[in-house]
Structure 1
């Protein structure tokens, strides 16, 4: 009887979890579906850019910089593969975006060269101190490291990517190590595109 009671309890917990999140996301789901913080800056084409929900575009967002030796280019590469794997109709409404954590060096021209290398990625420069507030809102940390001169340094930063639905709700967080599994990341994207938060 005790074993049966434990099994019943575990089954109830499992069922409750499934009711809260019926879709088995590969990334970590945001149960509360909080609103993603909006922000403004300059994009890679040197145009004013404002990130806000538009009712049609789903966004994969991460914070990086163009001098990053490995994680940032790989993140962009994997997310671009996710975008390319989508059916054409869905691809048009899925955006890959990088917000620079190195606004001093990541000029629009530098961002344009970087973003163009990865297809149709959007790259945004948000100046300080606004950048610090945006990063904090997303739980992103960053700091200069290995500083040799004012223009020669690296930036240590967190490496998560955030999936934001077309209504501006945070839905999924992927750890950098999950991005190489393109098919599973794409499945998360397709589900969120088809099921935006109200």
Structure 2
């Protein structure tokens, strides 16, 4: 075998190896993420990630937090508020239950975040007091109504602001949770109502993705 033939042979072998690894990775990922099982658990993955605006909001400790700073983990965004009479406490309790059912590795890769749709009343102090009740490592974010609406629309979970001129006003919002990947992009949703047992089975495979 001549030197040229050897070189060609090596290059062909390398290409075959790369292609083989790529196919294996794709097939392995598809095997992990069975669409039917995910949907049955209430998980909807997008074909392609969507950009999320790099806004800066304020957390429950009064610190400025940018969406960029949250990259590196899977963030589970729930758009709700602390004065919500029903959906919010029920959903946060379900998220707490879900976290308790996940393996430790999956739990460390997921950060649940409550983004307030009621910044008029949800000060950092109010968020902290509310989230401490659930005791599950939640982050709370608040900020200007315009910024929150921009983020909610980009995350595919819009809401209708409450009429702050009325006493004990409510805010119309959905119960779905947005899945923001470690790359900072919207990657999917968890539909309400949550099915915690099925989610505990299917979500670890999603959280293992980069």
- Confirm or deny that 1:39 pairs with 2:55: yes
Higher-Rg structure is 2
Q: Which has the higher strand share?
A: 1
Aligned residues: 176
**How much does 1:66 deviate?**
0.5
What residue is the counterpart of 2:64 in the other structure? 48
- Deviation string for 1:141-181 (max 9, x for gaps)? 32245x5844521111122101222222323212212x1x1
The separation in 2 between residues aligned to 1:72 and 1:191, in whole angstroms, is: 26
- Confirm or deny that 1:63 pairs with 2:79: yes
| Selected match of 1:113 from 118, 124, 129 | 129
**How much does 1:39 deviate?**
2.4
Unaligned runs of at least 5 residues, structure 1:
1-17
Unaligned runs of at least 5 residues, structure 2:
1-28
Q: Which has the higher helix share?
A: 2
What residue is the counterpart of 2:154 in the other structure? 137
The separation in 1 between residues aligned to 2:164 and 2:183, in whole angstroms, is: 43
Closer/same/farther in 2, CA of residues 164 and 188 from structure 1, 3 Å limit: farther
Once structures 1 and 2 are overlaid, which stretch shifts more, 76-85 or 105-114? 76-85
**How much does 1:138 deviate?**
1.9
| Selected match of 1:182 from 179, 193, 196 | 196
The separation in 1 between residues aligned to 2:197 and 2:185, in whole angstroms, is: 22
CA contact (8 A) 1:171 1:192 kept: no
| Selected match of 1:28 from 44, 49, 61 | 44
Length-normalised TM-score, structure 1: 0.78
What pairs with 1:80-119 in structure 2 (closer than 5 Å)? 80-119=96-135
Closer/same/farther in 2, CA of residues 93 and 139 from structure 1, 3 Å limit: closer
Length-normalised TM-score, structure 2: 0.74
RMSD (Å), alpha carbons: 2.5
- Deviation string for 1:42-91 (max 9, x for gaps)? 10111111122655311111100111011111111111111121222332
